[in-house]
Amino acid sequence: MDARRPWIGYASAAALAGACTVAGLAMRPRFDIVNIAMVYLLAVVVVALKFSRGAAVACAALCVAAFDFVFVPPQGTFTVADVQYLLTFSIMLAVALVVSHLLARGREESEARAAAALEAETERVRSTLLASISHDLRTPLAVLTGASSTLAEEGARLPAAEREALARSIYGQARELSEQVDKVLQMTRLESGAIALERDWASLAEIAGTVLRRLSDRLATHRVLVEVPADLPLVRVDAALVDQALANLLDNAARHTPPGTLVRVRARVEGDGIAVSVEDFGGGLDARDLERVFAKFQRGGHEAPGSGMGLGLAICRAIVRLHGGRAWAEAVPGGGIAFRFTLPVEPPPRAPAEDEAA
Amino acid sequence: MTEPRATILVVEDDPDIRRFVAAALRAEGHQVAESADARRGGIDAGTHKPDLAIVDLGLPDFDGLELIRRIRAWSTMPILVLSARSLERAKIDALDAGADDYVTKPFGVGELLARVRVALRHRARTAGGGSVVRMGAAEVDLARRVATREGRPVHLTPIEFRLLECLARHAGLVVTHRALLTEVWGPTHASDTHYLRIYLKQLRDKLEDDPVRPRHLLTETGVGYRLVPDE
């Protein structure tokens, strides 16, 4: 049903009534008039199914008129000689009304159900968000308030080492807080469609190198293996966003797997795209959780609080989708998770010409 | 390494940010002039003749960008920009307008002081200075056009040399894609970023110990490149 252009319904009603009349004329030599009425009835049902109630009633009226004028004796007039045809007319009108009424009710009900489901989902997200915020934002805020007020009010009486320790915990918590707030803002931007991709040629090896350097402190507890082939083609992406997507996967691995375990970053050509993966060997998740972890504010399995707000993977997936790729997780044999995403590859740009022998 | 004391102008409208930036700079032994808006900053830059200016991009009266242009009209003093996260475009515009580097808010003071040190050193060096760039096991003599790695000669193409030269002139500072492309390939190639991807990879393969995790030829995602030589 196209609510914006109601005239289409009426136009279709008229066209179908006309088509039925033509068909009826063709049937006339061999079929009974009652069967021709059936063809008109079919048109009424079709219009009632596809368009508004008004169009259905209009179609029924047009069909009755055409049927009466062309086929019902005396032909060429609207006079009805045989009273039984009045029943035919009434049935056509009744069918139009009943079908369009049933459909309208069905539509309203399914819209109401969808609205209720959406509301429930929104409510669920809102309450998880609130729970998450109260935990992951309030803890650092408590530290910030407590430690900084201690410094401001008792600083002069504290030993220098104590002052520095307080200041450092303020610094650490503030950075964590800033990271979480960035993620909330980024998720909001991605969801509202406020992000326009700034695509340019980029090298995944370069992006991986930058991310590993930036996260080197956090990843210092893990063994990181990088496997990026030297001849990997360039990709046309928003490098800053792909950087974030990869960083979130690595951050995720660092947060959720035990120190000393291996984290493997790989990129390779797969089909007509490039597949990037971050594999960890930290125990893995249930098959059900492998998909669930990509939802907002979800943490895998039984995570301890303070392990992040559960936005990193959702952001990663949103970024990858924006680029026309796919992001998912699968189990690694032996207990681990491989987080993978793909990016489409475009025909490579013209390379700069320089005689290497020069 | 002891750094010379310098006069530094801080143009930042937020009093709390201004306070800790100024405190950290004074703790390092620098003299600090503080301005709360761009108009005042422009005047202070003229009267104090600082060795370095730190300019916030989101100033209340007119844009930090405009202040950078005005300072650049008469001075080559290094300019560091303070900019909000994830605004690559604003950083690039500031660098193209004449800023030398940026620090992204929120920043730790260690990061800011490191940038200040590099920028001041850059100023001290522009007069002349060595043409030898040391990067781990690799050494490149830009004047003599000779490169070695672990003592063995490495062949660099003329374009690789020019690229390295351009980065080395701003050692420690970020250089935008546009600036590199314009200087090495000419203005008609100002947006052929893939040239840089290809050549930086070649340079890393030839000079870095681990080309995938470079320590000297660094990528500033979405902005440009930074050459960090060994001291």
Report chain B residues whose CB lies below 8 A from the CB of A198: 88-89, 222
Q: Is the pLDDT of residue A264 over 90?
A: yes
Q: How far is CA A15 from the centre of its chain?
A: 40
Tokens 């980029």 belong to residue: A202
Nearest to B108 among A171, A202, A238 (CB): A171
Domain spans, chain B? 7-125, 132-227
Please give the Cα distance from A103 to A53 (Å, whole number): 9
Low-confidence ranges of chain B (pLDDT < 70): 1-4, 85-86, 125-130
Q: Which token pair is B209?
A: 């110990």
Domain spans, chain A? 7-110, 137-191, 200-344
Give residue ranges of B with CB < 8 Å to any A CB: 85-86, 88-89, 106, 108, 157-159, 185, 189, 192-195, 197-201, 205, 211-214, 218-222
Nearest-neighbour CA in chain B from A327: distance (Å):
22
Rounded percentage of chain A residues whose pLDDT exceeds 70: 92
Q: Which helix (H) or strand (E) holds A341?
A: strand A336-344
Give the ipTM of the model, two decimals please. Answer: 0.87
Report chain B residues whose CB lies below 8 A from the CB of A239: 221-222
Q: Is the dihedral of CA A186, B214, B119, B188 positive or negative?
A: negative
Nearest-neighbour CA in chain B from A358: distance (Å):
6
Q: Is the pLDDT of residue A74 over 60?
A: yes
Q: Which residue of A has its CA nearest to B184?
A: A352
Partner-chain contact B221 A239, CB within 8 Å: yes
pLDDT score for B138: 94
Q: How far is CA B65 from the centre of its chain?
A: 16
Partner-chain contact B221 A209, CB within 8 Å: no
- Among B219, B223, B228, the strongest candidate for a mutation testing the A interface, having the largest count of A CBs within 10 A, is B219
Local confidence band at A213 (pLDDT 50, 70, 90 cut-offs): very high
Residues 6+ apart with CB under 8 A from B148: B138, B139, B140, B154
Phi/psi for B220 (5° steps) reads -105, 100
Nearest-neighbour CA in chain B from A52: distance (Å):
49
CATH fold group of domain B132-227: Arc Repressor Mutant, subunit A (1.10.10)
Q: Which token pair is B48?
A: 């104090």
Pick the more confident residue, A344 or A136.
A344
Alpha-carbon separation of residue A319 from A195, A228, A300, B82 (angstroms): 10, 21, 20, 26
pLDDT score for B118: 93
Report chain B residues whose CB lies below 8 A from the CB of A265: none
A356, with CB counted inside 10 A (0-12, 13-18, 19+), is exposed
Partner-chain contact B185 A200, CB within 8 Å: no
Local confidence band at A1 (pLDDT 50, 70, 90 cut-offs): very low
pLDDT score for A304: 52
CATH class of A200-344: alpha beta
CATH fold group of domain B7-125: Rossmann fold (3.40.50)
Nearest to A210 among B85, B158, B219 (CB): B219
Nearest-neighbour CA in chain B from A50: distance (Å):
49
Rounded percentage of chain A residues whose pLDDT exceeds 90: 36
Nearest-neighbour CA in chain B from A262: distance (Å):
17
Nearest to B197 among A201, A209, A355 (CB): A201
- Which segment of A194-208, A277-291, B96-110, B148-162 scores lowest on mean pLDDT? A277-291
